[in-house]
Amino acid sequence: MPSLIQHLGLGTGSKRVVVKDSIDIAGYPTRAGSAALADAPAAERHAEIVERTLAAGYRIVGKANLHELAFGMTGLNALTGTPENPRFPALIPGGSSSGSAAAVAAGLAEIGIGTDTGGSIRVPAACCGVVGLKPTFGRLSRRGVMPAYSSLDCVGPLSANLEDLIDFMSAVDAEFTVVSGAAMPRLGRLDVEADGAILGTLEAYLEGTGLATEKCALPMMSEAFDAAMALINRETYSACGAWLDSGRLGSDVERRLRAAAKISDAELHEAEAVRQAFTAEVDRLLETCDVLVLPTLPHFPLSRAAAEEGQQDLTISSLVRPFNLSGHPALSLPLPPSRGQPVSLQLIGRRGDDAGVCRAARYLVEALHDKTIQK
């Protein structure tokens, strides 16, 4: 199962970590799952997140596979192989942090470190049935992460267990502390378009916890998705466009890069205006509630067979990508499957309140557990 493309043994701790191969580890090349980087030299120093992980006593056991150049949502990779989705093997693992999600779902590591520019942690977390956190933009350093510049991308963890994820964040970020016994979070149930079975599973879960929710809306969600797409396309083209005529890119990434080259300055200007307006819209909503609750995915993931036949599905990120634009912390938490398909809820918190998002997730998990025991 090619969730790992390189086995390593860095550090001596008992908790195992895999690192997405768009993140530098000293002494090893960062190839981002692409033949375009086949001749990349070994990194001279660890990325900051790697330094912090090792300093916190974790053991790095491998470099994780990914969708080529971290520029795709299926997680498929014809060059390095596609990680199998351990819990839902007929489905895509999700991208772009496919190997990080698959590795923790398979029990190969307690923590997977990924990156999230348009859902690339939360989508594979949801596809593989694990927990994934996109921190507030800029919270965890991107030094040593490819591409060097991004106005959307965040480094973050995935784990099969919420408490392991919380422990990791506490270990690598001294300002991250999840307070126990705090007041019950106020939940805003965000009204979004999604598959009926997914919405039904989410509603049943929230009802099962016994926690009150208040319905709310973000009218600019669709505009924010389009703006985030324009920005990621231009920024990825700026970073990777030089390889377009190299003959070394996979067909899906090459097509997306050629399309990305057409993003105009006017579209970028409009995207930045939408970013400002949507961010303010989310901030206003979070003045009256602590976290927003919505599905992670709007519909069930593609089958792996369909993806291998060439089907693409960028709309799978329609409920996650807007929060890359705004920079708010967002966590994907797996729910019981529906008809054998993965379902996850997503929690959005105030910028900088990553711990509050994780605290709300803990409340939801514990509330449902307590309700189940009472029955």
Q: State the pLDDT confidence band at 369, using cuts at 50, 70 and 90.
A: low
Q: Is residue 372's pLDDT more than 70?
A: no
- Residues written for the chain: 375
pTM for this entry: 0.97
Q: Give residue 184's pLDDT.
A: 86
Angle CA 344–346–349, to nearest 5: 165
SS (H, E, C) the chain: CCCEEEEEEECCCCCEEEEECCECECCEECCCCCHHHCCCCECCCCCHHHHHHHHCCCEEEEEECCCHHHCCCCCCCCCCCCCCCCCCCCECCCCCCHHHHHHHHCCCCCEEEEEECCCCCHHHHHHHCCEEEECCCCCCCCCCECCCCCCCCEEEEEECCHHHHHHHHHHHCCCCCCCCCCCCCCEEEECCCCCHHHHHHHHHHHHHHCCCEEEECCCCHHHHHHHHHHHHHHHHHHHHHHHCCCCCCCHHHHHHHHHHCCCCHHHHHHHHHHHHHHHHHHHHHCCCCCEEEEECCCCCCCEHHHHHCCCCCHHHHCCCCHHHHHCCCEEEEEEEEECCEEEEEEEEECCCCHHHHHHHHHHHHHHHHHHHHHC
* The two structure tokens encoding residue 311: 């089907």
Domain residues of the chain, as ranges?
A: 4-217+277-374
Closest to 336 in 3D by CA, of 204, 196, 210, 185: 204
Average pLDDT, the chain: 96
Contact 26, 43 (CB under 8 A): yes
Architecture of domain 4-217+277-374: Alpha-Beta Complex (3.90)
Percentage of residues of the chain with pLDDT beyond 90: 94
Q: What is the pLDDT of residues 21-37, one digit of tens each?
A: 999 999 999 999 999 99
Tens of pLDDT, residues 141-167: 999 999 999 999 999 999 999 999 999
What is the share, in percent, of the chain residues with pLDDT greater than 70? 98
**203-235: pLDDT as tens digits:** 999 999 988 899 999 999 999 999 999 999 999
Please report how many Cα atoms fall inside a 13 Å half-sphere around the Cα of residue 133, on the Cβ side.
Answer: 31
Average pLDDT over every residue of 114-139: 98
Region 271-277: what's the mean pLDDT? 98
Both structure tokens of 58: 């974790």
